[in-house]
Every structure is written in structure tokens, then in C-alpha cells.
């Protein structure tokens, strides 16, 4: 059960998105004296940098990357809903899902801050998970940074950032840094197993989606996007 929650939290970093992708280099470290785990995962995607930045700025697309992903939805939401979820921390995921779908807003990306709700949906009897995070994005030349700070949800902590850089031959270098704490000590081999399953699959889904992607909510769209799931 705890292992499944761990995988769920890793998927929620998105996320916050490889036929042809480069090797995935993953580093994991357990913080001494506590239950916090931090790490990073790096790869090169065969997708143009400018196109991939636009995709990553459409936070709601994380729920559409692949039918095989456990991500149920990830949506930019209003400040009013964010304040409510942070204050009440509801346990009813149907309530969180419905509230997020009714409170969609446009994302402030590639600059500015956005509150984002993420939900992963496991088959019974595994426990589902959710969190709300503050996503802040910045863009400088050939590098973009999307940082997410945990505000409330299933875990004690689940934060990190996506670093996106222009690479050689028209590709994109993607670095995912994460730290999480589900409140218990997790054996190192389970962490490596969970991360080893999560990121290669997620990166592959990102690249596959990006190759067919057409920007639809970038640089100040006037209306929120439709939810397709």
C-alpha cells in the first residue's frame, strides 16, 4: 500500500508530462534522521525545446498523456478553491475532483504562479492520492524552470521542480527534481524500484504526446481549456 502511495506521489509531480528518448539517469537520497526522500531524474527528449515548454505550461495535459498512466487529472484552479482545500484537506477524492473541474483557470506560465490540483486513481483496493501545489514558472533564454511547492494533500510533503533546457540537435534536456515524505521510513530498494518504474514511463508518455501536440493554452489564452477526461 505505501509503495503504491509512493508511486502516486511521484506521478503527481507533474506534472507539473519516449520512442527515441535518451538514457534516464536517476539519483536518490534519503535524508538522514527523518522520512524525507529526495532525488532527480534526467533524460533527453526528441522534441524541440520551444514546443516542449509550451506543453509543460498546459498543466491540465498531465491527465491526458497516456491511457496507461495512473494520473486521473491535473488542473490549474482558482485561488478560492486552493484556499478551501488547504484549509479543509478533504479525504473525499470525488469532492476534490468535482471541485477542481468546476474551478479551472488559465495557468500563469511560462512566468508567474498557479495553484494546481493533481489526482492519481488506482484500481481497488489501492488507495488513491491527491495534492494541491503552487506551481511557479520562469523562462530565461534557452532554459525554463517549473517549480511546484506542496500545499496540502495525501502526503506530508511532495515538492520539486522541472528544469527544461535546449539541447543539441534540436532536442530538449529534461530534469525532474523531487522530494517527498509520506510519514514513514521506506526501504531504499523500494524507492529505487518505484522511481525506476515511474520516470521512464512518464518521460516516454511526455515525448509521445509532445510529438503530436498543438499548443492551445499558451501565453495568455482568454478562456480556460476544456476538460476531456
For the stretch 70-99, pLDDT in tens is 678 899 999 999 999 999 999 998 999 999
Peptide bond into 110 cis (omega under 30): yes
- Does the residue 60 lie in any domain? yes
181 located within any domain: yes
Cell 521510513 sits on residue: 185
* Residue pair 182/5 in contact by the 8 Å Cβ criterion: yes
What is the pTM (predicted TM-score) of this model? 0.79
- CATH code of the domain containing 18: 3.30.530.20
Q: Whole-angstrom Cα distance, residue 206 to residue 5?
A: 22
Q: Looking at the 3D structure of the chain, how many domains does it have? A: 1
Would you call 7 helix, strand, or coil by DSSP?
helix
Question: In a 10 Å sphere around its CB, with 0-12 CB exposed, 13-18 middle and 19+ buried, how is residue 203 labelled?
Answer: buried
Q: Which residue has the higher pLDDT, 210 or 184?
A: 210
Domain around 127 = 2-211
Selection from 64, 224, 59 nearest residue 137 by Cα = 59
Structural domain includes residue 185? yes
Q: Residue 223 falls within a domain, yes or no?
A: no
- Of the listed ranges 1-15, 51-65, 88-102, 199-213, the least confidently predicted one is 1-15
Whether 225 is covered by a domain: the verdict is no
DSSP 3-state assignment of 166? strand
Give the pLDDT score at 228: 37
Residue 138 lies in a domain: yes
Amino acid at each position: 500500500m505505501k509503495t503504491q502511495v509512493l508511486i502516486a506521489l511521484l506521478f503527481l509531480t507533474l506534472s507539473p508530462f519516449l520512442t527515441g528518448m535518451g538514457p534516464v539517469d536517476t539519483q536518490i537520497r534519503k535524508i538522514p534522521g527523518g522520512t524525507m526522500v529526495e532525488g532527480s531524474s534526467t533524460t533527453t527528449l526528441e522534441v524541440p525545446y520551444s514546443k516542449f515548454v509550451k506543453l509543460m505550461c498546459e498543466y491540465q495535459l498531465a491527465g491526458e498523456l497516456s491511457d496507461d498512466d495512473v494520473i486521473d487529472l491535473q488542473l490549474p484552479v482558482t485561488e478560492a478553491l486552493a484556499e478551501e482545500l488547504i484549509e479543509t484537506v478533504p479525504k473525499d477524492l470525488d469532492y476534490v475532483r468535482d471541485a477542481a473541474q468546476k474551478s479551472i483557470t488559465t495557468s500563469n506560465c511560462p512566468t508567474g504562479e498557479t495553484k494546481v490540483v493533481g489526482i492519481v486513481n488506482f484500481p481497488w483496493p489501492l488507495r488513491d492520492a491527491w495534492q494541491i501545489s503552487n506551481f511557479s514558472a520562469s523562462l530565461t533564454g534557452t532554459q525554463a524552470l517549473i517549480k511546484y511547492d506542496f500545499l496540502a494533500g495525501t502526503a506530508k510533503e511532495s515538492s520539486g521542480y522541472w528544469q527544461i533546457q535546449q539541447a543539441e540537435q534540436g532536442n530538449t534536456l529534461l530534469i525532474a527534481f523531487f522530494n517527498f515524505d509520506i510519514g514513514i521510513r521506506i526501504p531504499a530498494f523500494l524507492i529505487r524500484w518505484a522511481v525506476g518504474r515511474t520516470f521512464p514511463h512518464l518521460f516516454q508518455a511526455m515525448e509521445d504526446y509532445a510529438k503530436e501536440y498543438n499548443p492551445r493554452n499558451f501565453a495568455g489564452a482568454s478562456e480556460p481549456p476544456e476538460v476531456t477526461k
